[in-house]
Amino acid sequence: MMQKTDSNLSQATTKEAVTEQQVLIAGGGHVGLSFALLLAHHGIASTLLEKNRYPVISPTDDRTRSHYLDSRNTALSRRTVQIYQEIGLWDELQSHACRIDTVQISEQGSFGRAQLNKAEEKVESFGQVIENAWLGRKLLLAAQQEPLITLIDGANVIAVEQHVNSVTLSFNQDGEEQNEQQLQASVLVACDGRDSSVRQLLDIGTTTYDYGQSAIVGVVETDKPHLHTAIERFSPAGPLAVLPLTDPEGDGNDAHQEGYRRSVVWICPKGEETQYLEDDAHFLTTLQQGFEQRAGTFRAAGRRGAYPLTRVLADRQVVGRCVIMGNAAHTLHPVAGQGFNLCMRDAHVLAQMMNVQVLRGDDIGNTQLLQRYEKARKADQKRVIRFCDAVVHGFTHTNPAVKLARNVALVAFDKLPNIKPLVATYAMGLKS
């Protein structure tokens, strides 16, 4: 299915302040769609290729869920919310997002605990939790309605060829090898996931680390309202989380919602997934033991998925006129929900840099520009990667001295002045 296709792909669709240069985006998930919408906000046209077939959805059908998206939920940082506000999309997302007012942090079987409160930190919220299906649906609808975005689904990328002033991408649809097509543009941005085919075609290596764990992710119901509280809990198996979600029939930011639905992330060793996926009673009992009564009594569990946890870092993020972005550039452990938010900051910075290039009348695929982008994002990326790994390894270390030290550190974090605002600022993505 090809939508809003332009017969001359080197020219952008007509719109005020439109550039005639165009961007190719490989990968139409949350990051790819968001990047295309960021570019369109600046008047830059793009063609986005997605290997899956997009579902047929209607703007008037609020019940529809995008079947190609999974059942996971995403914690959007304060900065990510601001980015969606900037492009005028947050009003569409907000009804299915639930704000986080308080964050509780503790370790199972230990004395260390800390709490972040939005009133103390003087912020509207620490972020919002949204169902991936709703986020994907709204991003797709916005892209379908944007004349500067051409969507091509069912597209399998098979070759990438770089030239002095352009890049050519070859693809076929639905695996029909005899029906090869080509697109040419100033720059190619690959947002095609952890196992990125574009990254492989560009011969970009990766540094990979297998945590030996899987994340069991889904939705549960408790007898105690969440009161917009996120619970981060550390166990010998790894970091666990229970996050507030919207009621099925309500606005997640409505003061009158009951709030008994929660997103849950349970970490288990690889090979133990089946018992948590197929046995609701066992899953609920395990959650109860892990979180005790911090979330109340776990009384119902919905559909769940298991996701192997592996850190995958691209050795390079820019090659010529090609940029690697999203999980193709850095797939991280889900602890503290940093991965998607880091991707959104990457996308926002690149879109801004391309906009400046357009205003100057310069080439948006210029290699020096793209290399400046890569350099500009390194500090934020390294900080987030180090933080995620430090938390994962620090809280799973069984040495008694290490365990004592980290619990003392949690208490110190909760009591000492000036530490919480700094950590909260980083967690919200407001300092990169």
Q: What is the pLDDT of residue 413?
A: 62
| Distance in angstroms (rounded) separating the CA atoms of residues 327 and 215 | 17
Distance of CA 70 to the CA centre of its chain: 13
Look at 125 and 43; give whichever has higher pLDDT. 43
Look at 95 and 292; give whichever has higher pLDDT. 292
Q: What is the pLDDT of residue 6?
A: 40
| 33-47, 149-163, 251-265, 338-352: least confident range | 251-265
Which class is domain 2-427?
alpha beta
> Which residues, 6+ apart, have CB-to-CB distance to 207 below 8 Å?
312, 313, 315
The residue ranges of every structural domain in the chain are 2-427
Q: How far, in Å, are 157, 199, 215, 374 from residue 315 at the CA level?
A: 21, 10, 25, 12
Give pTM, 2 decimals.
Answer: 0.88
- Helix/strand/coil for 116: strand
**Residue 304 DSSP label:** E
| Distance in angstroms (rounded) separating the CA atoms of residues 163 and 109 | 59
- Helix/strand/coil for 38: helix
| Distance in angstroms (rounded) separating the CA atoms of residues 349 and 145 | 24
pLDDT in tens, 147-202: 999 999 999 999 999 999 999 999 998 877 778 899 999 999 999 999 999 999 99
pLDDT in tens, 418-429: 666 666 665 666
The dihedrals phi and psi of 406, each to the nearest 5 degrees, come to -70, -30
Q: Is 60 exposed, middle or buried (0-12, 13-18, 19+ CB in 10 A)?
A: exposed
| Distance in angstroms (rounded) separating the CA atoms of residues 280 and 277 | 7
| 36-40, 92-96, 154-158, 366-370: least confident range | 92-96
| Distance in angstroms (rounded) separating the CA atoms of residues 270 and 306 | 10
* Element (DSSP H or E) covering residue 407: helix 400-415
Which tokens sit at 397?
């270390």
Q: What is the pLDDT of residue 14?
A: 33
233: pLDDT strictly greater than 60: yes
pLDDT in tens, 308-357: 999 999 999 999 999 999 999 999 988 778 899 999 999 999 999 999 99
Tally the C-alpha atoms within 13 A of residue 101's C-alpha that lie toward its C-beta: 9
Q: What is the pLDDT of residue 1?
A: 46
pLDDT in tens, 16-32: 333 345 899 999 999 99
pLDDT in tens, 349-378: 999 999 999 999 999 999 999 999 999 999
Q: What is the pLDDT of residue 21?
A: 59
| Distance in angstroms (rounded) separating the CA atoms of residues 113 and 124 | 23
Segment 230-241 shows an average pLDDT of: 83
Average pLDDT of the chain to the nearest whole number: 85
| Distance in angstroms (rounded) separating the CA atoms of residues 424 and 117 | 10
**Residue 273 DSSP label:** H
Q: What is the pLDDT of residue 285?
A: 95
pLDDT band at 105 (very low <50, low <70, confident <90, very high): confident
**Terminal-residue alpha carbon distance, the chain:** 38
| Distance in angstroms (rounded) separating the CA atoms of residues 384 and 117 | 22
Q: What is the pLDDT of residue 15?
A: 35
